[in-house]
Amino acid sequence: KESKIGKAHGKIILMGEHAVVYGEPSIALPFPAVEMLATVRENEGPLRIDCSYYHGIADEMPEILQSLKKAIKVALDSLDKPYENLSISIESAIPPERGMGSSAAVAVAVTRAIYQYYQTELSHEKLLELVSIAERIAHGNPSGLDAITTSGSSPVYYRKGHDFVPFDLQMDAYLVVGDTGVTGQTKEAVQSIADRIQQEDQPISLNKIHTLGSLADHARTFLEKNDAVSLGKTMDHAHQLLVELGVSNKELDTLVKAAKKAGALGAKLTGGGRGGCMIALVANEADTFALQKTLREAGAVATWVTSLKKEESR
């Protein structure tokens, strides 16, 4: 049988991470600058998984490999195929565990590759359903946002339990993404918010989560109106609330402060937090170069730029 490839890409959550787990609105963008490839080949004997990509990290976080194995099993079960006679290899430019959706992307890529290999049609709906089963192991309580954005080509407005709404970006502005280099802890961060809510006798954290949802709605309006200054302010406010909810960390705060000091219109963590990446908004492309330099000097191990005008990233 011929080998087959399945693809996925990274994602950036513009607004609404964590709040989306509680049914609040969110906005996220596909991030095609970083891609994930899964290749399925014929192989005699037991299933072979080659993902040097996760080396080191999988020792610290064995659930990563479990969720990958689960994604493979879920896909094979859904096709009524055995968990053997295949070799699956993963190649990725998505930094793992940095809030860029690598765990959802790997599930998307292997599911696509397995369906291709068995020459079976895979609807987007079915893909999301299968990936959400694997994602439950990675995060415990995934909203589904990562699966939608790592598999789709449009920015989306999304509330858990509702259909996602794709939309076109038309803002004259750029996002600079900075990677702290610190492995994020999405599962722990999601759990820590759940614990906080449980322990409080006043709905303090729930109010913050609700405010984060309203900010995502405002952000959508500002995107539509091409109002980058106001979008920047909502990003700053969102970061402050995420700090108060305990999901930022020192490295993220350092990069966010450096970006603001360098003149960014707004800056916040993106994704699960407690490590991983942050994003900063600037109006002019020329400013993206200086800002990347600033972020690197402040400790970022990698930076990227993506346009909010159309799908242009590098």
Position 9 contacts ligand MEV (CB under 6 A): no
Beta-carbon count within 10 A of 83 CB = 12
| Eight-state DSSP code of residue 94 | S
Query: Which of 50, 77, 80, 146 is labelled catalytic?
Result: 146
Q: Which stretch binds ligand MEV (CB under 6 A): 12-20, 55-63, 116-124, 215-223?
A: 12-20
Position 238 contacts ligand MEV (CB under 6 A): no
Q: Which of 146, 179, 251, 287 binds ligand MEV (CB under 6 A)?
A: 146
Backbone angle region of 140, left / alpha / beta, with phi > 0 → left and psi within -120 to 50 → alpha: left
Given 3-state DSSP classes, what are the helix, strand and coil percentages for the chain, each rounded to the nearest 5?
45, 25, 30
Position 186 contacts ligand MEV (CB under 6 A): yes
Site string for ligand MEV, 67-106 (x = CB under 6 A): --------------------------------x-------
Q: Which of 132, 143, 292, 306 binds ligand MEV (CB under 6 A)?
A: 143
Minimum Å gap between C-beta 9 and ligand MEV is 14
Structure tokens at 235: 């990003």
Contacts to ligand MEV from residues 259-288, by CB under 6 A? 271-272
Cβ closer to ligand MEV: 116 or 180?
A: 180
C-beta nearest to ligand MEV: residue = 143
Half-sphere exposure of 55 (CA within 13 A, CB side): 6
Residue in 46, 82, 49, 78 with CA at minimum distance from that of residue 66: 49
Cβ closer to ligand MEV: 17 or 251?
A: 17
Position 190 contacts ligand MEV (CB under 6 A): yes
Q: Which stretch binds ligand MEV (CB under 6 A): 14-22, 52-60, 71-79, 203-211?
A: 14-22
Could you confirm whether 236 is annotated as catalytic? no
- Quick check: 147 and 137 in contact, CB under 8 A? no
Q: What phi and psi values does residue 44 have, to the nearest 5 degrees?
A: -70, 135
Minimum Å gap between C-beta 87 and ligand MEV is 29
Q: How far is CA 287 from CA 173, 223, 253, 280, 301, in A?
A: 10, 20, 21, 11, 19
Residue in 126, 127, 231 with CA at minimum distance from that of residue 169: 231
Catalytic residues: 146
